[in-house]
Amino acid sequence: MYCCLLLYHETIHNDIKFRMLRSILENLQYVVKGHRPHAEISYHTINRNTVFAMGKNMTKESILQAGIYFASSDILTAIGYSSNKERALLQSLHHLSSMIRGRDIRVYI
């Protein structure tokens, strides 16, 4: 199962968003029961406002917890799950586009 955690913010630089993603996702094994420490996580840039982490072998709970951390920091956060990488990314992009249009939802699951 693939999990995609997508972050969008207009004023936070992508390098900072990557550092936040790495910090939270790599430390979740100590916070979330059932987190798999051997999860494969890759980090990617979509544009100057948007980055995402693609995780394999991660629990939904750990991705949700990370999403809550970011959403509570006023960063638009979208999550996608699928057995396919591309579908997980497309799902999170779809959620993000819905949030940008509405601007009233912080986490869309």
Report residue 15 as tokens: 């390098």
Q: Which domains does the chain have, with CATH numbers?
A: 2-108 (3.30.70)
Percent of the chain residues past pLDDT 70, beyond the cut: 83
Q: What is the pLDDT of residues 49-99, one digit of tens each?
A: 999 999 988 878 888 989 999 999 889 999 999 999 999 999 999 999 888
**Do residues 79 and 72 lie in contact, with contact meaning Cβ atoms separated by under 8 Å?**
no
pTM: 0.83
**Is residue 108 pLDDT above 50, yes or no?**
no
Strands 107-108 and 76-82: parallel
Residue 71 CB coordination number (10 Å): 19
pLDDT of residue 33: 53
Q: What is the pLDDT of residue 25?
A: 87
What is residue 50's three-state secondary structure? Answer: strand
Amino acid at 62: S
